[in-house]
Amino acid sequence: MTHMSHSALATRSRHHPAFLGLTAAIGLSLAFAAAPARADSLASEPVGILPGGTVVQQYTMTNANGVIVRFLSLGGCITEIDTPDRNGNFADIVLGYHDLAGYDSNGTYFGAIVGRYANRIAKGTFTLDGETYHLPINNGVNSLHGGTVGFNTQIWRVTPKPVSDGVAASLTYTSPDGQDGYPGSLNVTVTYTLTDSNALRIDYEATTDKPTVVNLTNHSYFNLRGNGSGSALDELVQINADFYTPTDATQIPTGAIEPVAGTPMDFRKLTPIDARIRAPFQQLILAQGYDHNWVLNKPRPNALTYAAKAYDPETGRILLVFTTEPGVQLYTSNFLNGSLIGSSNTVYRQGEGFTFETQHFPDSPNHPNFPTTELKPGQTFHSVTIFRFSTDG
């Protein structure tokens, strides 16, 4: 087995009875003396057992600069991203669960691969090639993030992938025909690459044996000041979008594409998230904050272009986002209500983090004017998102 990491998740899980049983069964030592993380390395360790008996692995990617990304075989969930501030001090900048059980239920989708359809589909219904499909209703009257057994709940097969710059791993999963109501057997590969230029690149690929719909994203919640540091709403954000898709009271797009100019949705200049979040603007009232899709400015469809930026003046940390996707969802963790303990061993509250969910638009199968999410046999879905970490120092 490769060397052990020292994440809080792993430390807590080692004392869980299920993990102790696992160590007895396979002869692992609980004395985690430690070899330091090696540059450009992928390490793994078991962190617990699910109720059905499946062992969950945690993987640690370390680049030449000491930046670390940790993720689980469960849902591909990114549990930790350690980056330096302007003074070279490292901190984890994503939210996570206190223990493995949180990721098993993952009602907040912390760090997860989300699919088969990220975001919402109205009333869990869409029509494709004349046939109507029905999905689980798990978000008010709508279907959210794939349904009740979405990709965030699945065990992904993880294999190292040789790369010339940094370290990479490919995660694969096959979603069977009819899972959560979606047609077609969908073969999915998601590749995480941590480069030596301090970027996390995520490549998504999928093929199908029947016409279907696909919308994949990663659901990491960022707080550039550090996990557990309190509200992230005073951090500054820029979104490269002149338009957004307004929603109805159930957060389903109305079908309109409206300009951001003159509204609190205008992030074309770097702006504190909370600068206008309390404005009496109907879209903010309906979503209890920001939880909307922005239509990214693109020179052409599928171009890999700049999408968004976040900046924390206190630490100097900067996050740049590039994507081939047509949209990005800024979500300000409106429904974190103090009911769960995070991986920081603090209670998470509203505004504790924010997401940049690169994506096709919500409910696209029901809006012919939106970019299509249809995938047919013989085609390959491919998208790229890059999260680049730096500082102002």
Catalytic-residue membership of 15: no
Angle at 382 between CA 381 and CA 385, to 5 degrees: 140
Selected catalytic residue, list 45, 80, 145, 219: 219
Helix, strand, coil share (%) of the chain residues, nearest 5: 10, 40, 50
Catalytic-residue membership of 357: yes
355: left (phi over 0), alpha (psi -120 to 50) or beta: beta
- What secondary structure, in 3-state letters, does the chain show? CCCCCCCHHHHHHCCCHHHHHHHHHHCCCCCCCCCCCCCCEEEEEEEEECCCCCEEEEEEEECCCCCEEEEECECCCEEEEEEECCCCCEEECECCECCHHHHHHCCCCCCCEECCECCEEHHHEEEECCEEEECCCCECCEEECCCCCCHHHCECEEEEECCCCCEEEEEEEEECCCHHHCCCCEEEEEEEEECCCCEEEEEEEEEECCCEECECEECCCECCCCCCCCCCCCCEEEECEEEEECECCCCCECCCCEECCCCCCCCCCCEEHHHCCCCCCHHHHHHCCCEEEEEECCCCCCCCEEEEEEECCCCCEEEEEEECCCEEEEECCCCCEEEEEECCCCEEECCCCEEEEEECCCCHHHCCCCCCCEECCCCCEEEEEEEEEEECC
Selected catalytic residue, list 80, 352, 357, 367: 357
What is the Cα–Cα distance from 43 to 81, expressed in whole angstroms? 15
- By annotation, the residues acting in catalysis are 219, 357
